[in-house]
Amino acid sequence: MRYIDHHAHMASRTTDDYANMALTGCVAVTEPAFWAGWDRSTPEGFEDYFRQLMEFEPKRAAAAGIQHYTWLGMNPKESDNREISIEVLKRIPKLLEGPTVIGIGEIGLNRVTKNEITTYTEQVELAATLGQMVLIHTPHLEDKLKGTRITIDVLRDFPSLPPGRVLVDHAEEHTIEAILEGGYWAGLTLYPQTKVSAARAVDIIEKYGPERILVAGACDWGPSDPLAVPRFIAEMRRRRHDEALIHRVVFENPFRFLSQSPKFRLPAGVAEAAAAQAG
């Protein structure tokens, strides 16, 4: 079954990972800018990383037959550094003009500090002003509920940013209801240790249905799985869910959300072939 992974940190993966994702049906990925495992010391370091996402990763993906798009923004972890954040945000508007840049992300909160909230708010305002789609990171573990509530409160302060153009990622059982009630898209991140397992993700789909819910592997430099979405598909099939429902979650939903950007395009016939495959 063809699928789209809307949150995949491919800069941290090998070229073989692209090939294996293609073999399991991946036709497109979108890669949000994120923390590299260490704090960068200059705005220029961020700009070099953004160029990697905009120029190099699309070529690696294309060699495997996968479309690659990116989101650009000041990631939550490093957004606590206001001095650097201010300088990085000055560079974002020009970079958003890149042909494969579909929005601002991943932005949001990590430790839910005052500085993080300020940087996050500035980026939401930037998205509202420039008419950009947004991909938002919500904190992990004990800070998730508090961070998600603040995330949504800030979004409500910018009514010119349509909720349907916002994806609130890393949702879990105790946060997804508030995300969906706000009219936002909810992302379920399939991680082997933290976030949500394939089984828990299927549980959530069974409880809330498929409307405005996406699944992704994230697959960064930590313990993670570039084939997380196919494993989700396998779990859905194990529970005897209809192929049309599975296809909706792993292909139709991300296609519908991401296609709000005029830059997001799949090769001719891919969407039609995927629909026919799903029956």
218-233 pLDDT per residue, tens: 999 988 999 999 999 9
The bridge status of strand 26-32 relative to strand 67-72 is: parallel
- pTM across the whole model: 0.95
pLDDT at 194 over 90: no
pLDDT band for 275, please (50, 70, 90 cuts). Answer: low
Tokens of 54: 């905009």
**DSSP string of 207-260, one letter each residue:** HH-STTEEEE-B--SSS--TTHHHHHHHHHHHTT--HHHHHIIIIIHHHHHHTT
CA neighbours closer than 13 Å in the CB half-sphere of residue 91: 18
The Cα–Cα gap between 241 and 100 comes to: 34
Q: Which residues contact 159 (CB under 8 A, 6 or more apart)?
A: none
The percentage of residues in the chain with a pLDDT greater than 70, rounded to a whole number, is 97
Mean pLDDT value of segment 234-240: 98
- One DSSP character per residue, the chain reads --EEESSB-GGGS-HHHHHHHHHTTEEEEEEE----SS--SSHHHHHHHHHIIIIIHHHHHHHTT-EEEEEE---TTGGG-HHHHHHHHHHHHHHTTSTTEEEEEEEE-SS--HHHHHHHHHHHHHHHHHT-EEEEE---GGGHHHHHHHHHHHHHT-TTS-GGGEEE-S--TTTHHHHHHTT-EEEEEB-SSSSB-HHHHHHHHHHH-STTEEEE-B--SSS--TTHHHHHHHHHHHTT--HHHHHIIIIIHHHHHHTTSTT--PPTTHHHHHHHHH-
Task: For residue range 101-123, list pLDDT tens digits in order.
Answer: 999 999 999 999 999 999 999 99
Q: How far apart are CA 98 and CA 4, in angstroms?
A: 21
Residue identified by tokens 């923004």 is: 73
> How high is the pLDDT of residue 267?
81
Q: What is the dihedral of CA 191, 197, 201, 206, to 10 degrees?
A: 180
Q: d(Cα 267, Cα 186) in Å, to the nearest integer?
A: 26
Residue 279: predicted pLDDT: 60
206-219: average pLDDT:
97
109 contacts 116 by C-beta, under 8 angstroms:
yes
Could you report the per-residue pLDDT of 136-149, keeping only the tens digit for each? Answer: 999 987 789 999 99
Domains delineated in the chain:
3-278 (3.20.20.140)
pLDDT of residue 259: 97
pLDDT band at residue 274 under the 50/70/90 scheme: low
Confidence of residue 58 (pLDDT cuts 50, 70, 90): very high
At 143 the pLDDT is 87
The pLDDT assigned to 188 comes to: 98
Sign of the C-alpha dihedral, residues 99, 51, 214, 169? negative
